[in-house]
Amino acid sequence: MPVIVAKRRGPCAACSLTSEEGEIITYERAVGPRHMACSERNATRWRNLFVMPCALWGVRLQRGQGELTIDECVTDGEAWRLSWQACCVDVQA
């Protein structure tokens, strides 16, 4: 897991608290930034890597904004269906 200096403020993928610019963090593209103290914890948030509407308000979210949730369900037979939704709870809309 690469250790870098944060270039901007953003939420930690494990604890959701803000990491400050200039803070030393760990970073993985699929997960996002984590505080050094949170580096061993599993990510509880997924980064939104696509432009999509907020599931609650319909606000257009840019890449990296909002919290991504994934729902899995079994459809006809044994096929699994994934449903991706983004929520703007951490975006000042």
Task: Give the start-to-end residue ranges of the domains of the chain.
Answer: 3-38, 52-87
Give per-residue pLDDT as tens, 24-80: 999 887 778 899 998 888 776 666 777 889 888 888 988 777 777 777 777 777 777
pLDDT, residue 45, reads: 66
pLDDT, residue 44, reads: 66
Select the more confidently predicted residue: 10 or 91: 10
Q: Answer for the pair 6, 16: CB distance below 8 angstroms, yes or no.
A: no
Residue 93, pLDDT above cutoff 60:
no
At residue 38, the 3 state secondary structure works out as: helix
pLDDT, residue 5, reads: 94
